[in-house]
Amino acid sequence: MDTAYFVPDIVRQWLFYLYRERNIPEIQSMYEVSFQKLSDRYYKTTPWPAVEMIADVVDQDHVFCLLYKEMYYRHLYARCTPDLKQRCESWENYCDLFGLLLHSNVNMQLPNLWMWDMIDEFIYQFQSFCQYRSKVSQKSPEELEQLKKYDKVWNVLEVLNVLQALVDKSGIVAELEADGGAELFATDGYTSNQSNVLRLLGYFSLVGLLRVHCLMGDYYGALKAVSPINFNERANLFAPKIAGCNIALFYYAGFCYLMLRRYLDAARNLNTILMYINRVKQYHTRSAQYDQILKKNEQMYALLAMTVALSPAASKLLDENVTTQLKERNAEKMAKMVRGEVAAYDEAFSYACPKFITPSPPLDSQASSSSSQTAYRIQLNLFLSEVRSQQTLPLLKQYLILYSSISLSKLSSLMEIEEAQLRTQLACLKNKAYSLKWNGTSNDATAGTFVSASDIDFYLDVDPATGTEMVIVSDTVHTRHHAEFLARHIVKFEEILRDLDAPVAPVTGKSIAV
């Protein structure tokens, strides 16, 4: 029998139990583990059965069929290459699914991971469609004409409207403003006799809005969108309960801070998530997202290397283990960056940045060329222009460190530049020394106060005896915080002892064998 028209009994059984099951841990096991095993066994390079072939197993249930189709297209994107028709069908299914959740009384409960994957995949497919559409040079005239007919499919305004509608309908913003997410954290998102679906979809959509705005280069808007989630106060932060959500939150927020020249905030956020990944990655070795977690880990170390190279004072905010790993991975590249080598920044940015998108369709005049790299080139050039503006500053800092005071004429002679040019560089160094930093008093991720982020301070003055203009370098005293260092290691030692003394948890529960 043709496998395209044959559904194995074990697949039908899995679907039947998934449809009937009401226990959340069991549903999560079937969703996260069994689905992957069945995919590897029966549908490694082919799509799952069409929904019409399995609808009888689930009593033609409309909601379940929409959920199944969402998983169907997610698998299709992961294992196959979707064509234009399938991309459009997946968009229509998301519209139907989210439309139903927004305009009807939802009474079901689903695993939080499933709902995060739903939002994550929704944005990934939008990103994929923008990149697919932009590669005009690889398409025939017929394909380009067909694309014009689907101008509303995966439209950026529609995507943003869907995410914002989920946020508004869920009431998650008011809940987070009321208690900072304490109840959400304490209940793991579940409430007895109430659906958790809209509540969690709203929460994850905030992270989704951060991601979409970041992909379009709107870094301020991205941070503003995620402000209801006070990720700087981690006591009641729900995101760490879902590894993918937490990594996305801090990766995109850290990248936004980097592009906004808020290096201290970028370092703090990247340090937080790198410590988190180091702590939890051992529990995700069998997860389908394990390779992606490791890749994001490497990308964020590359982002951190650029951050510390541009603002050495940011290194003071890093955990000892993060600092050690950073040096092991990027010591040579960081040395090149500190010397002002633009190529090193170019390489690191290309590896670590998100896959930017051009949200609007390409113009007819671009039909003979490819515009898939346009968005990336724009963001790369913006970043490198900032790097080039600081290119001569490392040498200037090296000279200033050698002196407590030096005449402007002598310093210009040492640097082999005109005094007017030296004044410009000194002003630039002074300007770059100040950075906007979150002050801990506001939930708004865009808020902050300007602080000095320099490892050297100086000012210009005139010698009253000679009338010579001088550069006066202030004494900089680096205080070693031994107490903080010892306290951190005592806590780590206690955690190790606690893990060694903890009894082995018995394995309980049942799951469908596949």
Per-residue pLDDT of 102-117, as tens digits, reads 998 888 899 999 999 9
In angstroms, what CA-CA distances link 399 with 90, 395, 428, 453, 468? 60, 7, 16, 19, 19
When mean pLDDT is compared across 124-138, 300-314, 471-485, the lowest value belongs to 471-485
The region, left, alpha or beta by phi > 0 then psi within -120 to 50, assigned to residue 403 is beta
Q: What is the pLDDT of residue 458?
A: 84
How is residue 304 written in tokens? Answer: 């951190």
Whether residue 304 lies inside any domain: the answer is no
The confidence score (pLDDT) of residue 510 equals 42
**Is the per-residue pLDDT at 211 higher than 70?**
yes
Average pLDDT over residues 184-191: 88
Position 495 pLDDT exceeds 70? yes
Lowest mean pLDDT among 141-150, 193-202, 254-263, 357-366: 357-366
Among 23-32, 333-342, 467-476, the range scoring the smallest mean pLDDT is: 467-476
What is the per-residue pLDDT for 514? 40
Q: Which pLDDT belongs to residue 371?
A: 58
Tell me the residue type at 338.
V
Q: End-to-end distance of the chain based on CA atoms, in angstroms?
A: 22
Q: What is the pLDDT of residues 454-475, one digit of tens each?
A: 777 888 888 888 888 888 887 5
Mean pLDDT to the nearest integer, 198-203: 95
191 or 297, which is more confident? 297
Task: Give the domain range for residue 448.
Answer: 392-478
Higher pLDDT, 172 or 461: 172
Q: What amino acid occupies position 371?
A: S
461 close to 426: Cβ distance less than 8 angstroms: no
What is the DSSP code (8-state) at residue 315? Answer: G
Task: Name the strands in the sheet holding 469-473, side by side, starting at the edge strand that comes first in the sequence.
Answer: 405-407, 469-473, 458-462
Task: Characterise 476 by phi-psi region: left (phi > 0), alpha (psi -120 to 50), beta (else).
Answer: beta
Query: And the tokens for 88?
Result: 């459009």
Q: Tokens 């900032």 belong to which residue? A: 386
**Span 481-505, average pLDDT:** 73
What is residue 481's predicted lDDT score, i.e. its pLDDT? Answer: 54
Tell me the β-bridge partners of 444: none
- Top-confidence residue, 367 or 100: 100
Least confident range from 139-143, 202-206, 277-281, 340-344: namely 139-143
| pLDDT tens digits for range 58-98 | 999 999 999 999 999 999 999 999 999 999 999 999 999 99
Taking each helix axis from N to C terminus, what angle separates 62-79 and 84-103, rounded to the nearest 10 degrees? 140
Tell whether 13 is covered by a domain: no
pLDDT at 270 over 60: yes
Amino acid 475: pLDDT:
56
Instruction: Judge whether 471 and 408 are in contact, CB under 8 Å.
Output: yes
Question: What CA–CA distance (Å, rounded) separates 30 from 110?
Answer: 12
Pairwise pLDDT comparison (121 vs 428), residue with the higher score: 121
283 part of a folded domain: no
pLDDT at 512: 41
Is residue 377 in some structural domain?
Answer: no
Helix H or strand E segment including 142: helix 141-149
20 burial (CB, 10 Å; 0-12 / 13-18 / 19+) is exposed
Residue with tokens 């040019």: 421
DSSP letter string over 465-492? TT--EEEEEPP------HHHHHHHHHHH
| Residue 513 CB neighbour total at 10 angstroms | 7
Helix-, strand-, coil-residue percentages of the chain, each rounded to 5: 65, 5, 30
pLDDT at 374: 86
For residue 296, give both structure tokens. Answer: 């994001």
Distance (Å, rounded) from C-alpha 33 to C-alpha 276?
A: 23
Q: Is residue 35 part of a domain?
A: no
Count of CB atoms situated within 10 Å of the CB of 214: 26
- Number of structural domains, the chain? 1
pLDDT of residue 509: 43
CB environment 21-52: b (16+ within 10 A), e (fewer) = beebebbbbbbbbbbeebbeebbeeeebbeee
484 band by pLDDT with thresholds 50, 70 and 90: low
471 within a domain of the structure (yes/no): yes
One DSSP character per residue, 1-52 reads: --GGG---HHHHHHHHHHHH---HHHHHHIIIIIHHHHHHHH-SSSPPPPHH
What pLDDT was estimated at residue 286? 74
Q: For residue 406, what is the domain's CATH number?
A: 1.10.10
Residues whose CB falls within 8 Å of the CB of residue 285, separated by 6 or more in sequence, listed in order: none
pLDDT at 237 over 80: yes
pLDDT tens digits for range 380-391: 999 999 999 888
Task: Tell me if 411 is assigned to some domain.
Answer: yes
Residue 408 domain-assigned (yes or no):
yes
For helices 112-134 and 243-259, the axis angle rounded to 10 degrees is 50
Give the pLDDT of residue 485: 66
Within 10 angstroms of residue 160's Cβ, the number of other Cβ atoms is: 18
Per-residue pLDDT at 424: 87
The mean pLDDT value of the chain amounts to: 87
Residue 112 vs residues 64, 89, 203, 389, 506: alpha-carbon distances, Å:
17, 25, 11, 45, 24
The predicted model gives 349-377 an average pLDDT of 78
